[in-house]
Amino acid sequence: MVSYTLVIMAYIEKILEKLQNLSDTSLQEVLDFIDNLESRNRIAKLSSPTVHDESLLINLKKATAHYQNGIAKLQLKEYQQAIAEFNYALQIYPNYSEAYYYRGKVRHKL
C-alpha cells in the first residue's frame, strides 16, 4: 500500500509544478474541470452500489495471509507451493503487485 501512496504523491508533485506555470485563465479552467469531475463523482456514488470497506479489508487480510505464506514457501524453496499461495492472493486481490513480483521471481527460479 505504501508504494501506491508514494506514486500518487509523486504525481501530485508533478501536477503542482505544472499548475504553477499556468496563466490565471488556464488555471481557472483546470479548477472548473476539477469541480466538474467532483460533481460527477458524487452523482456516480449516489447512483451506484457502494462496496463495504469491511469486506474489502477482510479480502485484503486474506490475500496478505496467502502472500505471506508464499514468501515462507519461497524461503523454504517450496516453489510450486509458493506459486499456489501467490495465485490465491491474486485471486482474492488482483491488484496485489508484490504477489505478482514474487510469483515472477519464483517462476524465474523454476
- Mean pLDDT of each 10-residue bin along the chain, 110 residues long: 68 74 74 73 55 72 92 94 95 90 92
Q: Which pLDDT value is given to residue 87? A: 96
How many structural domains comprise the chain?
2
pTM: 0.53
Q: Which pLDDT value is given to residue 86? A: 94
Same domain, 42 and 62: no
Same domain, 101 and 57: yes
Q: Which pLDDT value is given to residue 35? A: 72
- For residue 66, the enclosing domain spans 53-109
Same domain, 91 and 67: yes
Same domain, 58 and 93: yes
Q: How many CB atoms lie within 10 A of CB 66?
A: 21
Same domain, 27 and 58: no
Please tell me the distance from the alpha carbon of residue 103 to that of residue 44, in angstroms, as a whole number.
36
Same domain, 37 and 67: no
Same domain, 80 and 104: yes
Q: Which pLDDT value is given to residue 91? A: 94
